[in-house]
Amino acid sequence: MTTIKDTPEEWEIRATATPFTGNKTSVRTDDVVMPDGSVVRRDYQVHPGSVAVLALDDADRVLLIRQYRHPVRQKLWEIPAGLLDVPGENPLHAAQRELYEEAHVKAEDWRVLTDVYTTPGGCSEAVRIFLARGLSEADGERFEVEHEEMDLEYARVPVDELVRGVLAGELHNNCLVVGVLALVAARQGAGPEALRPAGAPWPARPFDA
């Protein structure tokens, strides 16, 4: 019987180039050897990785942020998220930072909800989505935002309402969609307490403890 589990594999690369390097990401072109021996060119975005936080309060509401996303020309309801800015950065620390910076909130209980590749056919981005509970207002001054984050809106929405919005095609942010449905699946299974600990290994983005 086939084991349904993703596994590491790397096909031969005959040539590689980086035609574009941006502030946070770049575009790479690889000439990859196919199983029949042919060589095919593949272009993809090289991404440092991200973290996202499904922050759940005591009223079973998820903390959401509404933000303008220029590539899709929409304002999307999202969960707090951000890049792994430092190579080898502990993803839990990054997630705690993003929750503070974007929402001025801290959490007592952290668990790994799920790990995903956002668009593996064209981008190397890997995202670790955390479940954060025991929410309270963060200490100190609010983080000074800039650019799109100057126009953020906030809401706390019941889990059931988010599931309805996802299935109705009203909510589109991948981390929100995956996070909410993963939470529902966890509740229907062994429960959130059985989720992986916050410091669980992440082979896609190895980190320092």
How confident is residue 1, by pLDDT bands cut at 50, 70 and 90?
A: confident
Mean pLDDT of 80-105: 94
Mean pLDDT of 70-99: 94
- Which pTM does this prediction carry? 0.94
The closest alpha carbon to 172, from 100, 67, 93, 23, belongs to 67
pLDDT at 171: 98
- Give the three-class secondary structure for 14: strand
Please answer whether residues 105 and 199 qualify as being in contact, where contact means their C-beta atoms are separated by less than 8 angstroms: no
Name every residue whose Cβ is closer than 8 Å to that of residue 164 and which is 6 or more positions away in sequence.
none
How confident is residue 46, by pLDDT bands cut at 50, 70 and 90?
A: very high
Q: How far apart are CA 157 and CA 15, in angstroms?
A: 49
Q: How far apart are CA 85 and CA 50, in angstroms?
A: 9
Q: Quick check: 86 pLDDT over 90?
A: no
Cβ burial, residue 168 (10 Å; 0-12/13-18/19+) = exposed
Residue 29 has which token pair? 């072109």
How confident is residue 148, by pLDDT bands cut at 50, 70 and 90?
A: low
pLDDT at 140: 76
Q: Quick check: 182 pLDDT over 90?
A: yes
Q: Which helix (H) or strand (E) holds 180?
A: helix 174-188
How confident is residue 88, by pLDDT bands cut at 50, 70 and 90?
A: confident
pLDDT at 19: 96
pLDDT at 149: 67
Mean pLDDT of 127-136: 98
**Catalytic residue ranges:** 149
Q: How far apart are CA 65 and CA 81, in angstroms?
A: 10
Say which range, 53-57, 144-148, 166-170, 189-193, has the weakest mean pLDDT.
144-148
Neighbours of 3 (CB within 10 A): 5
The single residue listed with the structure tokens 């593996």 is 120
115-131, pLDDT tens digit by residue?
A: 999 999 999 999 999 99
Q: Quick check: 13 pLDDT over 80?
A: yes
